[in-house]
Amino acid sequence: MITPMFNEKWGNIKALAGANRLVQHLRSKGVCVALASNSPRENIRAKIACHPGWEESFVAIVGGDEVTRGKPAPDIFVEAAKRMNSDPSNCIVIEDSLQGVLAGKAADMHVIAVPSIPKSTAEFGAADEVINSLLDLRLEKWGLTPFVDWIEDTLPIEPWFISGPVIKGYGRGSRVLGIPTANLPADKFSDILSEHTSGVYFGWAGLRKQGIYKMVMSIGWNPYFHNSEKTIEPWILHDFSEDFYGEELSLAIIGYIRPEANFSSVESLIERIREDGRIAEKALDLPIYACYKDLPYLRRDQND
């Protein structure tokens, strides 16, 4: 009884940020790719059916029902390699779960972990590399043809849009760091934020009364709240003479710069954020990013 309901839901699951880009890239370069999951094969099919071009991109699909032991046992990956006619030692596993990382290593493969649970990096020590997001994947490190879509230290992304009242930070952040951020209430955006990994992004910011400005922002985990709470901290690259708490801020987020990082000192954090600002400032003049400045979304009255 439950299965048909789930089958319907699987069609609505959004791909991870960067997943489609990766699948298309590997396919265009003729790299053999298999999908190996503990889920039953039929469920895997239902899950990927709604993503155009995915099914054709996998040379093999191995479900948990096709092997005796699921992950963390190596069986599923060993079987996938066999179906690709590849030696396990030539295979790279990309995994979001700890079980999967262990299975990949047990299969004698290279393993890149992209943990789906935030802040769990330490547990993924068995992996050969741990990255925050598929956007951070550098294929050249693994002897594969690199992505060619990075431009001047930025990665164009599928744009996304958020707007809300500026809640805090403008003025206070500026006293501590010299970097005033016009924060948005993250709890209002939990759905859209769960689709986007933490990191440094940029784009255009529209303030109803002031106009449209360049913007660089951090999306990150707020240590004062649960691990599942992210903060959105846009730094509008303009000197304002006044605060504007409560005012509607609309953001078009169109590019990615880097993952969140830890710094040994406040000075190095500030230096890095300033560098992000310079990168965004320059990139936003490029035609592929500049064109979004005129979006009606950035000018709209939120009460409309």
Please report, as ranges, the residues that interact with ligand RBF according to CB under 6 A: 169, 173, 177, 179, 181, 200, 216-218, 220, 233, 235, 260-261, 269, 273, 276
Question: Three-class SS of residue 91?
Answer: coil
Tokens of 268: 């190095």
Residues 6+ apart with CB under 8 A from 144: 26, 29, 31, 92
Catalytic, 248? Answer: no
List 95, 233, 247, 248, catalytic entry: 233
CB-nearer residue toward ligand RBF: 111 or 166: 166
- Closest distance to Mg ion from the beta carbon of 42 (Å): 16
- Closest distance to ligand RBF from the beta carbon of 201 (Å): 8
CA distances (Å), origin 124, targets 102, 128, 129 = 9, 9, 9
User: How far is it between the farthest Cα atoms of the chain?
Assistant: 67
Task: Pick from 97, 154, 163, 181 the residue near Mg ion by CB under 5 A.
Answer: 97
Q: For Mg ion, which stretch binds (CB under 5 A), given 89-97, 132-140, 181-189, 294-302?
A: 89-97
Q: Nearest-CB residue to ligand RBF?
A: 218
Taking the mean position of all CA atoms in its chain, how far away is CA 34?
22
97 interacts with, out of ligand RBF, Mg ion, none, CB within 5 to 8 A per kind: Mg ion
- Closest distance to ligand RBF from the beta carbon of 86 (Å): 37
SS3 content of the chain, % helix, strand, coil (to 5): 35, 20, 40
Q: Nearest-CB residue to Mg ion?
A: 97
- CB of 259 closer than 8 Å to CB of 201: no
Comparing CA positions, the residue from 148, 139, 133, 167 lying closest to residue 258 is 133
- As annotated, the active-site residues are 233
Which stretches of the chain bind Mg ion, using CB under 5 A?
Answer: 97
